[in-house]
Structure 1
């Protein structure tokens, strides 16, 4: 009798099972076919590019007058797009830190649900002694019911791990700030280099254009002389070749002028097509001599180095990671309380509250204690090794930048001497040309040689400024306060100029405090 009843029940359930299986397979098939690659259309790319260009133009502050170095640096700090990305990355690290702090809070979870079925959730019982049905089929649940609960729980182990994780994120945020500051110093250095190269090219652009016009005119005159056979062809061809080389050199100089302007425009977020006049003294002063007490400079470089400080923060992070690994070996204690509600009419109490505690401990994890201890020791040794390597790298960078700066100053002195000699040769050649003692091409050659010497002198000055800037970067010196983004370009330019003036006077600010710290 019971077997027949079971077969009848299975037969009744088969259509429902078939429908459920068919529905599940259909849903899976639809899910598998619903995802297809969607390449971005060229029109969409073009529209995005145009919109981005509009955003870039809107973020620019128009240049209304000549730019000096301090203003160029201020504009770069305010408007350089790559630097803005660094600022956003630091802000994102701060958000991660704030989010990690939220993980320390207890969990308050609210749940609600409704169920409905087409028949009763009934069951019967069988005696384990006689194997006979002991009760008629009965139910204790409504066909349609609604339930809800609010559960407050706090896991002590998770709280400890979240606390350590929040401390790690705090240190990562500080590392991100150091990275942003390092990027800022590198940006200032790039602007310094591009500014002086552009200024050098600006100083000689007029002479280049004039000489190029004269050289092209002389070349045209030689073409007429050659066609008319007024002079020996071999002599004329040799002069034409010389002039062609001169024209090639002058055109290369013109290209350098344009490239230097484009580089600077990109750094200060100015359209490359916009003409920007740079302010630089006609008589370029020699850059300042570097300090001779390198031991004090090494200590300053280490104290100011973002890379070295980042390694100290990384040691903190690794120590916290080691503590997290050890804490995970402990049992987890969870405290909880909840309030519940259920519309089931069979319940005697449809609302109730509960409190409790639960302990969970993976005892097998204790077997990994020795491995965890060795791993933590390895982390510690690696962090210390990285710190020592960074210490040496900072000192090496300082020493190399110091030597590079000294060499750049020496090259600048040599090029100034050569420029002075070639300028005198040019003056004498022009005097001779005025008295018709020399040919026109000799005058052009003398002009070009003098121009090449002037260009070499100006580029050597730009290289010396670049080496000086690299030396300041190796010392970890920053030109702007922490709140520089809130300042106007004019105010920020004043702060940058004041910092440059202090450095050129040999006043690096932090040395007395460092000496006092060492003596203590």
Structure 2
């Protein structure tokens, strides 16, 4: 059965209405299936370890920093932020081009478009009584139009400048994140190294304490010594054991933190060089005034605020530009399949000049807002300026203090090692007790731990000073460098080797 055209059009309208109503129906959230979750997890595990070489038998500080700079996942995310801003900068450039609009449309109606004419003066119908047919019931219109707006072009230029400044600001944020990553690696490295070196010593001291505690309880049961002396002896042993177990607990997670920073397998075992003292020239030999000048020229926080100020200044110019009248030009060709047209294809050229008068009403308020944004950016830049100068002097004092603390911790550790040797000799000569040896072992272990902690803080203080001065650990990108080349850059730029 063949449907009439009016009925077919009404049926099509009903179908379109039904589709619209079904599209407006609320969607139910769909949980990720266990299969999809497992597949994504497996893909992520492979992506995380992709192109990451395995650890060798020995891991030095420069290699740990280089691995973190090249393979750390958080740093990759920071780098992708910079890449995103770069793509935005490239995309904004296309807004300056003219617009070329191609369109095609189909129109159908269920009745003819009939018109009657009347006399424009008298208002009476013209002589013929039958209405005129002026348009096909169904016809298609195709057009290709090239247009260019002077105002849009100017705003696109401003947007491109702002996108460029946002890209440079993202670069400074990436630099800052890199500096913080280097600090974290240096601290985690020496914590892991101390844990590795002290692990066997702590275990041996705990075994010795357990033996001494068992002997004391046996002597207490046999009434071989005064009860109060035995309890005091056991309490001191237990206190030493508690301290040793606290050290063991504190250091147990260090290698996992270092592995996370380097994006290395969590369970990987490697030997760490535990006594890597800072090398190179003394940073404090450089005068504070020279350090201030370097920091003010290279500090990433201050540079970012400068770029933010430029973005605010361009935004103020955009506010004024939007108030200008717009001049636009267009050139296009159109084809209409309407069989009643005498000229179904034609070309149009146009020029338009206009403005939104209501923009002029809000222009003073927009200018005040833009000026306030510039003033805010200036204040933030000045605050960063003052903070950078203060950070230079704070970092210098921290570096001097941590170096003195390491020297003091080194002396205490040497003294406790000598005391431990004397205690062992006394025990072998039956002139000392296991309690004395356990106490001496515990004190020596704590002193060695404090020495490593002081060494880590010394390295961290150097890293904070380098971060304040804007000293980069590598060139702009680590992707183009091999791991060995990146290690060489780290040794030269950060470790002074």
TM-score by length of 1: 0.87
Helix, strand or coil at the partner of 1:316: helix
Question: What displacement does 1:230 show?
Answer: 3.5
- The reply to whether residue 203 of structure 1 matches residue 176 of structure 2 is no
2:311 to 308, 313, 317: 317
Q: What is the Cα-based RMSD across aligned positions, in Å?
A: 2.6
Preserved contact between residue 471 and residue 493 of structure 2 (Cα < 8 Å) = no
1:98 aligns to what?
90
Unmatched tracts of structure 2, length 5 or more: 1-5
Distance verdict in 2 for CA 1:282–1:31, change over 3 Å: closer
1:514 aligns to what?
none
Preserved contact between residue 192 and residue 466 of structure 1 (Cα < 8 Å) = yes
- The reply to whether residue 351 of structure 1 matches residue 345 of structure 2 is yes
1:83 aligns to what?
75
Distance verdict in 2 for CA 1:32–1:369, change over 3 Å: closer
1:419 aligns to what?
413
Question: What displacement does 1:376 show?
Answer: 3.5
Preserved contact between residue 127 and residue 134 of structure 1 (Cα < 8 Å) = no
For the residues of structure 1 that align with 2:276 and 2:60, how far apart are their CA atoms? 13
Preserved contact between residue 61 and residue 276 of structure 2 (Cα < 8 Å) = no
2:56 aligns to what?
64
1:336 aligns to what?
330
1:385 aligns to what?
379
Deviates more, 1:282-291 or 1:81-90: 282-291
1:113 aligns to what?
105
For the residues of structure 2 that align with 1:398 and 1:490, how far apart are their CA atoms? 31
Q: How big is each residue's C-alpha offset from its partner over 1:166-204, in whole Å with a ceiling of 9 and x where there is no partner?
A: 111011111111111111111111111111222222222
Q: How big is each residue's C-alpha offset from its partner over 1:419-454, in whole Å with a ceiling of 9 and x where there is no partner?
A: 222222222212211111111221121121122112
Deviates more, 1:373-382 or 1:279-288: 279-288
Helix, strand or coil at the partner of 1:464: helix
Q: How big is each residue's C-alpha offset from its partner over 1:49-87, in whole Å with a ceiling of 9 and x where there is no partner?
A: 343223223353211231111111110011100000001
- The reply to whether residue 269 of structure 1 matches residue 300 of structure 2 is no
For the residues of structure 1 that align with 2:20 and 2:127, how far apart are their CA atoms? 43
For the residues of structure 1 that align with 2:485 and 2:89, how far apart are their CA atoms? 32
For the residues of structure 2 that align with 1:388 and 1:180, how far apart are their CA atoms? 22
Question: What displacement does 1:165 show?
Answer: 0.6
Helix, strand or coil at the partner of 1:215: helix
Preserved contact between residue 278 and residue 459 of structure 2 (Cα < 8 Å) = no
1:122 aligns to what?
114
1:48 to 37, 40, 51: 40
Preserved contact between residue 296 and residue 388 of structure 2 (Cα < 8 Å) = yes
Unmatched tracts of structure 1, length 5 or more: 1-13, 505-520
Helix, strand or coil at the partner of 2:479: helix
Helix, strand or coil at the partner of 1:103: helix
For the residues of structure 1 that align with 2:287 and 2:146, how far apart are their CA atoms? 64
Distance verdict in 2 for CA 1:160–1:130, change over 3 Å: closer
Question: What displacement does 1:460 show?
Answer: 1.3
2:235 to 241, 251, 256: 241
2:320 aligns to what?
326
2:213 to 205, 211, 219: 219
For the residues of structure 2 that align with 1:236 and 1:74, how far apart are their CA atoms? 54
- The reply to whether residue 409 of structure 1 matches residue 397 of structure 2 is no
2:3 aligns to what?
none
TM-score by length of 2: 0.91
Q: How big is each residue's C-alpha offset from its partner over 1:297-339, in whole Å with a ceiling of 9 and x where there is no partner?
A: 1111111111111121122111211111111111111111001
For the residues of structure 2 that align with 1:86 and 1:118, how far apart are their CA atoms? 60
1:8 aligns to what?
none
Preserved contact between residue 305 and residue 380 of structure 2 (Cα < 8 Å) = yes
For the residues of structure 1 that align with 2:274 and 2:232, how far apart are their CA atoms? 40
Preserved contact between residue 142 and residue 335 of structure 2 (Cα < 8 Å) = yes
1:516 aligns to what?
none
1:257 aligns to what?
251
Q: How big is each residue's C-alpha offset from its partner over 1:207-258, in whole Å with a ceiling of 9 and x where there is no partner?
A: 1122122222222333333334433333223222222222222222222232
